[in-house]
Structure 1
Amino acid sequence: MAIFLHVIGHNEHFRAVKGRFHHPTQMIHQCFHEVLTTMMCFAKEIIVPTTPNPTRHNSERHRRLKNIFSGAIGALDGTLVPVVVPIDQQTRYRGRGKGECFQNVIGICDSDMIFTFVWAGWEGIAHDSRVLNEVAFNSTSGFPFPPPSEILNLKTNGSLSFTVQRDIVIACVAFHNFIRKYNIEDELFRNFEEDTMVTPDVQGGGIDRENIQGIEWGPEAVEYMRALRDHIANRLLSPTLH
């Protein structure tokens, strides 16, 4: 486990890690992949829908969010995680500015800051709404549809294969949930509860045009994506899907 955490935490190659742990590269490779396989099983157990705990967190920020989003069971969003892929596949994972490659990750987090769903591995060029549409209505994804009465508000090691880089994201989410569920002391969680966490100021792209990761979306594209998001939200809350 120490080897695995060191590799993903410092983004180091196996050859660099062997000197620290005094093991041959082959053993470092074997230990890493054994832990990763185990983490994928652990993720299935710990990244699951939860029942909100009203007594877990009573910070002012938490109470304020609960008042604003009364009845909400979680929030869904997408993010981009750097990824290294073969040259012949880079076009699909690029496309969001500066020529870097990313995988698109979508996740759902409940009011206790615990992930209840995560889906990694989509091409970086894919729009979040497209990823959500495909994942939400994929019968094999395990997407947690909310009950009709509730509301759903809508850099990895380059020496590893894409599948491993994808699984590392899921493993990190599993670690996050473990820390949160078992109340392990964590500085970032403490700062959030005490409302002392500093978050970057994200500037919008204006009313008529939106700038997303270096790409400017015109009015027609913006309106199309808004309509698609509304369509997905309506389908998610449709009684026929439950």
Structure 2
Amino acid sequence: MIELEEIFLVQPNGSQIPSEIRNNPKFDPYFKDCVGAIDGTHIRVKVSPTDAPKYRGRKDHPTQNVLAACTFDLKFTYVLPGWEGTASDSRILKNALQRRFPLKIPQGKYYLADGGYMLKSGIIPPYRGERYHLNEYSRNPPRTQRELFNLRHASLRNAIERAFGFLKKRFPIIASSTEPNYGVKVQNQIILACCILHNFLRGTDPEDDFPEGVEGDNENPSVEDNVDEDEDEQRGECLRDSIAASMWQDYNA
């Protein structure tokens, strides 16, 4: 893996409830402590034949897996490009949380993530084994509190997919399926520049139409780390169950 370079953009401090949540009774007060959504997207890269197998993940061609977090007004707050296409989302996120300049999650707050990420007090994925994608609920409303949670989770987490879709529509240079003429290091700089420009444009014209979304370093933890991770997962599970139970009670009322 090449040297990674992350950027911080508009860091959420969690002091205010996002208006996209506060003004929607489906999300407020259940997700009042949510500061954004997080996911990865694959972007085609040019690498040597020797490195190609490491970058050939979900696509037929080499890609890098770019981790990003965004707020619900579709502005990126953290971007970490450079990981090989074969790297899992959870592995990349774990690295992002442990870097010298890590992805910071405000105390008592959390990001929404898809099912490819670990459950933590600051990272809340949907319930596995339950319906999740929005089209699965188009004709069949939720039947349990877990399904209701997954439905509203998907509706809110969709912000990161829309942000990626918007980014790639604005900047075809990172959306092309054609092999680029430059290497990964240059491409990383291009990705970061595009995210900065995207945020600027969102700030100047927040009402601009956007498309539907596209496509998302301690590798040997000690025993103490595992205990901490287990406890953090339990806190995340309690938080998710509490949210699900609360919205299900109100939904039936």
The offset of 1:149, in angstroms, is: 2.1
Letter in 1 for 2:89: D
Residue 168 (str. 1) matches residue 186 (str. 2): no
Which residue of 85, 88, 91 maps to 1:127?
88
1:231 corresponds in structure 2 to 229
Letter in 2 for 1:138: R
The offset of 1:169, in angstroms, is: 1.3
Structure 1 residues 140-151: aligned runs within 5 Å: 142-151=101-110
**Which 5+ residue runs of structure 2 have no aligned equivalent?**
113-122, 124-174, 217-225, 237-253
Q: For residues 144 and 127 of structure 1, do their structure 2 counterparts lie closer, same or farther at Cα, with a shift above 3 Å needed?
A: closer
CA shift digits 1:88-138 (9 cap, x unpaired): 11011013243x111010011112221110000100000010111112101
The offset of 1:176, in angstroms, is: 1.2
Residue 73 (str. 1) matches residue 35 (str. 2): yes
Which residue of 90, 95, 116 maps to 2:57?
95
Which residue of 77, 93, 97 maps to 1:136?
97
Secondary structure at the aligned position of 2:185 is classed as helix
May I ask how many residue pairs the two structures share in their alignment? Answer: 158
- TM-score (ref. length: structure 1): 0.53
Maintained 8 Å contact 2:21/2:32: no
**Which 5+ residue runs of structure 1 have no aligned equivalent?**
1-39, 189-196, 203-212, 214-227
Maintained 8 Å contact 1:53/1:112: no
Give, in whole Å, the separation in 2 of the partners of 1:97 and 1:187. Answer: 29
The offset of 1:179, in angstroms, is: 1.1
CA shift digits 1:6-60 (9 cap, x unpaired): xxxxxxxxxxxxxxxxxxxxxxxxxxxxxxxxxx9xx95x713035797996699
Secondary structure at the aligned position of 2:205 is classed as coil
- TM-score (ref. length: structure 2): 0.50
2:48 corresponds in structure 1 to 86
Secondary structure at the aligned position of 1:129 is classed as helix
Maintained 8 Å contact 2:44/2:180: no
| RMSD (CA atoms) | 3.9
Secondary structure at the aligned position of 2:181 is classed as coil
Q: For residues 171 and 233 of structure 1, do their structure 2 counterparts lie closer, same or farther at Cα, with a shift above 3 Å needed?
A: farther
